[in-house]
Amino acid sequence: MTPGARVQAAIEILDLVIAAARANGAPADRIVGEWFRTRRFAGSKDRRAVRDLVYAAIRACGPVPISGRAAMLRLAQDDPSLAGLFDGQGHAPAPIAAEEPVAAGGVAPPWLERALAESDISGDQAQALLARAPLDLRVNTLKADRATLALPQPGEPGLAPQSLRLPHGTQVESWEAYTTGQIEVQDIGSQLVCAALGAQPGELVIDLCAGAGGKTLALAAAMDNRGRLIATDTDRARLSRLEPRAWRAGVTIAETRLLDPGREAEALADLAGQADAVLVDAPCSGTGTWRRSPEGRWRLTPDQLARYAAVQARLLDLAASLLRPDGRLGFVTCSLLDVEGAGQAAGFLARHPDWSAQELHLAAGTSRGPGVRLAPGRDGTDGFFVACFRKT
């Protein structure tokens, strides 16, 4: 592909990403993959170049752009060599017309920038939400140990005890250590918030919003594969991905349970008042993971955010009912917004005056209300809020 054809390809992909963001469709990663699946003429260098252009344009536009071309023109405004490729030659995009609409820049749509600023994320801290994330590994202690594990490319030991950090884009999926379950891809922040629950061998632990099990596997390793670990979620497709991952990681204590939205308590009635610990890794805006999915900020609306906050409150109350009297409730969101973090945690404490927040001693993060917040700019991890509650 010529450089101009790559720009035109990126524009076409951006049109699809924008449409998907408006209709709550597929994530950008999947759209890029699909686009190339049907265009075999593109070589690996073309794919990388187009992908980089697509993501650079997504990062450059705060609000959702009107078109892929407007998004690419935003990028071209600061890059004369990119602007020069709009020459209409071959498969290149048409020349730039005077007065053509250019998408707006910024970190996020204005309402969301304001919400972040009200949660003390602005300036460099806000900009850091859109940086490229490194690749973090967790060495799976059920099969290996960080001190002795030999990898094709040694990583930098991170702040979580079994973590290793590698450059963005390292292809670990083909490594033997990956295929044999000795390593998992997991952000260091995610490893730290899992550890905050303090899951112990022999306990009954519930991972209430387990998804595909990223944190379930870390909890199983902390429990040394002893006890009972119940992974639940309302999303059948996500939960079904947990089983093969658990098998690869040598996790034998995880049981999955699919929940019906709105009827979760019924499916968990046999566990009421029984659990030693419950993790609520709640559905949220994902503002802490924009480094990986920058188009997430084009999808969020104030209504959606309010819906997330309502579900979080409901799941926290459900989790409290599952715990035995001195059990621990871990609340995690990958969000930097107080409404899904410190504010939500304070709301739980207000509704449950007989509960209190435990002091957390994480290797990173800053205290925020009843919990701790990790931020990409300050901590170099994905953004998270974590709090741990206990009945007093």
Ligand X SMILES: C[S@@+](CC[C@H](N)C(=O)[O-])C[C@H]1O[C@@H](n2cnc3c(N)ncnc32)[C@H](O)[C@@H]1O
Bridge partners of 254, per DSSP, are 229
Q: Could you tell me the two tokens for 298?
A: 């084009």
Contact pattern for ligand X over residues 157 through 196, marking x by CB under 6 A: ----------------------------------------
**Of the ranges 51-59, 131-139, 203-211, 269-277, which one interacts with ligand X (CB under 6 A)?**
203-211
Helix, strand or coil, per DSSP, at residue 141:
coil
- Of 233, 338, 379, 382, the one binding ligand X by CB under 6 A: 233
264 or 276, CB closer to ligand X? 264
Contact pattern for ligand X over residues 38 through 77, marking x by CB under 6 A: ----------------------------------------
Q: Tokens 């387990």 — which residue? A: 210
46 or 264, CB closer to ligand X? 264
Say how far apart CA 158 and CA 179 lie, in whole Å. 22
Q: Tokens 């101009």 — which residue? A: 4
Say how far apart CA 339 and CA 372 lie, in whole Å. 14
Instruction: Supply the DSSP string of 267-292, one letter for each residue.
Output: HTGGGTTTEEEEEEE-----GGGTTT
Residues of 380-390 as b/e, b for ≥16 C-beta within 10 angstroms? bbbbbbbbbbe
**Of the ranges 29-37, 67-75, 131-139, 212-220, which one interacts with ligand X (CB under 6 A)?**
212-220
Asked whether position 229 contacts ligand X by CB under 6 A, the answer is no
Interface positions, 247-276, toward ligand X (CB under 6 A): 259, 261, 264
By Cβ distance, which residue is nearest to ligand X? 214
Interface positions, 296-315, toward ligand X (CB under 6 A): 311, 315
Helix, strand or coil, per DSSP, at residue 144:
coil
Q: Tokens 């709090």 — which residue? A: 387
Spell out the residues 6+ positions from residue 122 whose beta carbon is closer than 8 angstroms to its own.
Answer: 113, 116
Is 388 one of the annotated active-site residues of the chain? Answer: no
113 or 264, CB closer to ligand X? 264
Contact (CB, 8 A) for 162 and 146:
yes
Binding-site residue numbers for S-adenosyl-L-methionine are 233, 260, 281
Interface residues with ligand X (CB under 6 A)?
A: 208-212, 214-215, 232-235, 238, 259, 261, 264, 281, 283, 311, 315
Binding-site residue numbers are 233, 260, 281
